[in-house]
Amino acid sequence: MTEPSESEVERLYGLSLDQFTPARDEAARRLRDEGRREDAAAIKALRKPSSPAWVVNRLAREVPKILDNLLATGERLRDTQLSGGSLAAAAQDERAALDRAMRNAEEIATHAGLASAATLQRVRDTLHLAALDPDVAADVRRGVLVREGRATGFTGLAGFAPPEESPKPDKPKARSTAERPDPARARRLAKAREKAAAAQLDLKDAQRELAAADRELAAATRQKQRAETRVERASARLETAQEQIAALE
């Protein structure tokens, strides 16, 4: 089974929702008539995008600079997380870029009659996921997204708050000659600081493990989607074969 050409796929996913299925079927028929039956089956297997996915695809085509800015902030957020840096500024930049992209997405959805609260929330979830998942970002940039997604685990970093910095100790006040240092209290403070430092290290290790687990989950999800696509293509190819057999009988 061959893969359909990128230009043809991008053309189909650039159409309106009501145009997609007729145009896809027409393209498949044209390819069959040209004797390119495997290409025809591959095109026939393309799935119609959901409403949120369609809005994201239109956003990629109409305002690519705004989308690129969002994806860039997501990349910085991932890098900050993996390097163990402070997430506050990076997360704020990603949220601001996401809000800006959503203003454009809402205009697109409204014009197409798709601006329900549920659809817009799924668009936001999908854009957030694209910002934090490079593989989803690739499909979003091309404007060929089929289904919406939602960020979970590591890809939900925008909802994480970085660990607070330890408060700086106040300057010591002048002591009277009657005051004396408390060795036991000093030991307790030292132990508390050691535990806090160890806890922060444990937190960073846990975040890295979470990142790795989430990447594995994303890879498994993509593999499942590819398998579903292969099943659909095989079904389309079977249908074509059955048509050929019927024509010969």
- pLDDT per residue over 182-220, tens digit each? 666 666 666 666 666 555 655 555 556 666 666 666 666
User: CA angle, 136 as apex, 17 and 104 as ends, to 5°?
Assistant: 55
Tell me the pTM: 0.59
pLDDT given at position 188:
67
Tens-digit pLDDT profile for residues 16-62: 999 999 999 999 999 999 999 999 999 999 999 999 999 999 999 99
Average pLDDT, the chain: 79
Cβ-based neighbours of 180, under 8 Å, separated by 6 or more: none
